[in-house]
Amino acid sequence: MDEAIEVRRGFVVPARELHWRFSRASGPGGQGVNTTDSRVELSFDLAASPSVPEDLRDRALSRLANRLVDGVLTVVASEHRSQLRNREAARGRLATLLGEATAAGPRTRRPTRPTRGSQRRRLDAKNRRGQIKKLRGRPDE
């Protein structure tokens, strides 16, 4: 279970940089809810991690600024009854968050102009429509 998380090619979070914390989950669960530590908190120090490439770190820090506390990203999972499944869910969530935060932004739009043919077709269609409307009037006009 304590394996590295592969976020993308060239960006792997080693297991030694992940910090796990376990606590009792809230909500219904019967007899086991008060005795098992099934809630999982997974923390990753994004700002101080040597395994994150510099350009990806800057991008992730700016995109995840509202989720970070002193440069540390924390993910919580408590939807499953077992700690193991919550650990898997937390690892998946962390990988998804980091993947989306380090993804390249959309390409910049290159402004284009309409072709001469498309402009001509648009004006011809407008003329045809105007002729149709003109023919709707009275014959003596």
pLDDT at 30: 63
Radius of gyration, CA atoms only, the chain: 29
- Give the helix, strand, coil percentages of the chain, each rounded to 5: 40, 20, 40
What's the number of CA atoms in the CB half-sphere (13 Å) around residue 139?
0
Rounded to the nearest angstrom, the gap between the alpha carbon of residue 110 and the centroid of all alpha carbons in its chain is 25
**How far apart are the C-alpha atoms of 110 and 92, rounded to whole Å?**
36
Please give the DSSP secondary-structure letter assigned to residue 53: -
Please give the DSSP secondary-structure letter assigned to residue 138: -
DSSP alpha helices (H): ranges in the chain?
Answer: 54-63, 83-102, 116-135
Number of other CB atoms surrounding residue 7 within 10 Å: 22
Q: Per-residue confidence of the chain (141 residues) as pLDDT tens digits?
A: 568 888 877 788 888 888 988 888 776 666 666 667 788 899 998 888 888 888 888 888 898 889 888 888 899 998 888 888 998 999 999 999 988 888 888 899 999 999 999 999 999 999 999 999 999 988 775
pTM beyond 0.85: the answer is: no
